[in-house]
Amino acid sequence: MTAPASPTSPTSLASPEGDATSDRVTGVRLRAVHLPLTTPVSDAKVLTGRQRAMTEVAFLFAEVRTARGHEGLGFSYSKRAGGPAQFTHACEVAPELLGEDPSDIAKIWTKLVWASASVGRSGLSTQAIAAIDIALWDLKAKRAGLPLAKLLGAHRDSVRCYNTSGGFLHTPVEQVLDNADASLARGVGGIKIKVGHPDHAVDLRRLSAVREHLGAGVPLMVDANQQWDRPAARRMGRAMEEFRLEWIEEPLDAYDVRGHAALTAALDTPIASGEMLVSVAEHWEMIKHDAVDIIQPDAPRVGGITQFLKLATLADHQHLQLAPHFAMEIHLHLAAAYPREPWVEHFDWLEPLFNERLETRDGRMYVPDRPGLGFTLSEQARAWTRETAGFGTF
> Interacting stretch for Mg ion, rule CB under 5 A, among 69-77, 180-188, 222-230, 334-342?
222-230
> Interacting stretch for Mg ion, rule CB under 5 A, among 113-121, 134-142, 223-231, 372-380?
223-231
Give the integer Cα–Cα distance in Å for 274 and 263.
Answer: 15
Exactly one of 192, 325, 333, 346 is catalytic; name it.
325
CB of 225: closest distance to Mg ion in angstroms? 6
CB of 292: closest distance to Mg ion in angstroms? 13
How does DSSP assign 243-312, residue by residue? Answer: G--SEEE--S-TT-HHHHHHHHHH-SS-EEE-TT--SHHHHHHHHHTT--SEE---HHHHTSHHHHHHHH
Give the integer Cα–Cα distance in Å for 22 and 66.
Answer: 10
CB of 271: closest distance to Mg ion in angstroms? 12
Whether residue 194 lies in the annotated active site: yes
Nearer to Mg ion, 64 or 220 (CB): 220
Cβ 346 vs Cβ 171: under 8 Å = no
Nearer to Mg ion, 274 or 368 (CB): 274
> Interacting stretch for Mg ion, rule CB under 5 A, among 59-67, 176-184, 219-227, 337-345?
219-227
**Up-side HSE of residue 310: CA atoms within 13 Å toward CB?**
12
Residue 100 as a binder of Mg ion (CB under 5 A): the answer is no
Q: Is the dihedral of CA 356, 360, 365, 366 positive or negative?
A: negative
Give the integer Cα–Cα distance in Å for 62 and 388.
Answer: 10
Residues 6+ apart with CB under 8 A from 97: 25, 28, 64, 108, 112, 132, 391
**305 closest CA partner among 84, 121, 129, 52:** 129
Nearer to Mg ion, 61 or 168 (CB): 168
By CB under 5 A, how many residues form the interface with Mg ion?
1
CB of 372: closest distance to Mg ion in angstroms? 27
Whether residue 288 lies in the annotated active site: no
Exactly one of 194, 283, 333, 346 is catalytic; name it.
194
Nearer to Mg ion, 253 or 356 (CB): 253
Nearer to Mg ion, 88 or 165 (CB): 165
Q: Which of 100, 223, 256, 329 binds Mg ion (CB under 5 A)?
A: 223
First-last CA distance in the chain: 50
CB of 260: closest distance to Mg ion in angstroms? 14
**139 closest CA partner among 302, 301, 373, 307:** 373
Q: Using CB under 5 A, list all residues that contact Mg ion.
A: 223
Active-site residues, by number, are 194, 325
